Chain A
Amino acid sequence: MESLYQRDVYGKALVELGRANKDVVVLDADLSSSTRTGLFAKEFPGRFFNFGIAEQNMMAAAAGLASCGKTVFVSTFAIFASGRAWDQVRNSICYSNLNVKIVATHAGVSVGPDGASHQALEDIALMRVIPNMNILVPCDGPQTAEAVNAAFCASGPFYIRLGRPKVPTLENKGKFELGKAQVLAEGNDIAIIACGIMVAEALAAVESLAKQGVKARLINVHSLRPLDTQVILKAARETRGIIVCEEHNIIGGLASSIDEIVAENTPTRVVRIGVRNRFGQSGDPAQLLKEYNLTSADIEKAALACFAKCK
């Protein structure tokens, strides 16, 4: 199976957008080698601006650039993009509904050895509560390019969440559409809804569950806002329960998004696989995913328990 860095795909996608459209500009805050915006900087030095270690300035300046007709891609680590500059994102970018695409890398515990201070586990929650903000969490390399292009084609602010490590490329995901989830496996016993790197873990769980006679439906929610409520409510009605998987705090992220619409429309049991209100820590990504119960084995266990309980 092919494995890619989402950041590499992002950097290349930016260069292509830059070639096609002269109004694409890119901003970074001293992390252009990590976020891969450096590729764009190399080809288009006149349209790349490094802000140094000053994320608040970068976000508000992005609003100024967008007000002059630019499509502005802004990158830094997820922890800084969402937390450090939240007020600038809210008041200067989203309130004005400007064309700023925040592409945040190094989300989640899979950042690894850098530890808790650099592992964003609450960024989706922080971005999700701001009106006008769109949120995309692509599950692999190719989907990262699709997300970047979708954000470019749509107007208004976006938050695109990428990880640090290589992720396996998933086959046959179907068409990428803003606001439309992808059903990657059919089944009526249980529904597994996942985003980002957790989609691959969930897919492994689905295959293992099938061997045990449990048919799980797998839904990849790459678009958290706008959210595909139809596909989610259909799963709530047609299966015994929902397992939501995300590399994020169980509070405020994808699970909360699902909880909110399911509780309002068709109350269903929703089990949350995610970081249970803890900070991260140093370690290898694989060790950390295990420590925080974010593996396919954890998903499988939760699915079996839910399936048994909801008979």
Chain B
Amino acid sequence: MDSQIKQLEDKAKLIRRLIIRMIAKAGSGHPGGSLSATDLITALFFSVLNHDPKNPKWPDRDRFHMSKGHCCPLWYAVLAESGYFPKETLMTLREFGSLLQGHPDRRTPGVEVSSGSLGQGLSVALGMSLASKADNKDYRIYVLLGDGEIQEGNIWEAAMAASHYKCGNICAILDYNGFQIDGATKDVMSLEPIADKWKAFGWHTIEIDGHNMRQILDAYAQARTIRDKPAIIIARTIKGKGVSFMENTVEFHGRAPTQEEAEKALKELE
């Protein structure tokens, strides 16, 4: 277990470095929310998800969907690192003709449904869960939500329906970093009490530190045991985690680091 955690922590560092390099090269993108969810998604892709990068359309695969699509540099990095496409492709992020669009597009191997317009991804996950019911399959569906994103009404329509249909194979992951473009979520539009809201909608909730690998793995394991209702991992995270000058600030929500900033960030992530 300890060696597994060490491996995942090293992998997360590598993913963070890729995120910084990709966004710096592209000259635009969203580092803050990509870095806050890195530990959660690294653990998912390299220790939890049942998938086959050489056969991305394998019908029994677990599904992953990134509802907060602006954090796709993270998604692209774990996809490339898993072997869905060559790692060189990462440095074409946001370029004309690139496989890697500014927000997720189905042209990218491993991307199931496009995203970017916030609030729709939990519904997409719900649809996948309903498909599994119709087919009597038991693959799992993981969906990453942003905290600001759950201000969208569509999220709560999906939350209500996933509970109604007892979608026990849905595991939502809430990247609760506390910031959105216009400031702290508590100032822009309060989300609390978050866990009570999800509980009231019939969900099993698991609250963790989203940068503690052991807690993350335990949360995924616990979610898997819940079969009669959907589960959500409410992960307390730090926006910009891993790069001192990006942490807990809105500045790097949607701005790329300069070359100089990128070098400084990469040094911190060595």
Contact = CB atoms under 8 A, between A and B. Distances in A.
B160 to A, nearest CB: 7
B134 A25 contact: yes
B131 A69 contact: yes
B145 to A, nearest CB: 13
Interface stretch (A87-95, A168-176, A302-310): A87-95
Contact of A64 (B124, B135, B164): B124
A34 interface: no
Given A87-B117, A91-B116, A96-B114, A60 B154 contact: yes
| Range class of the B interface residue count | 35 or more
A70 B161 contact: no
Interface string B32-75: 00000000000000000000000000010001010000000000
B238 interface: no
A69 B127 contact: no
Interface stretch (A47-55, A228-236, A245-253): A47-55
Contacts of A65: 127-128, 130-131
Contact of B153 (A46, A56, A70, A98): A56
A147 interface: no
Contacts, number: 107
A96 B107 CA distance: 9
Nearest to A24: B134
Contacts of A52: 160-161, 164
Contacts of A91: 114-117, 120
Contact of B125 (A64, A88, A98): A64
Nearest to B134: A47
B41 to A, nearest CB: 19
Nearest to B159: A57
A256 interface: no
B227 interface: no
Contacts of B127: 60-68
Contacts of B130: 25, 49, 61, 64-65
A64 B128 contact: yes
A293 interface: no
Interface of B: 59, 63, 65, 105-106, 112-117, 119-121, 123-135, 153-154, 157-158, 160-161, 164-165
Given A68-B135, A95-B114, 14 more contacts: A25-B131, A49-B165, A51-B157, A51-B161, A52-B160, A54-B161, A56-B154, A60-B123, A61-B158, A64-B113, A65-B127, A67-B113, A67-B127, A92-B117
Closest 5 CB pairs of A and B: A64-B127, A60-B123, A68-B131, A57-B157, A61-B127
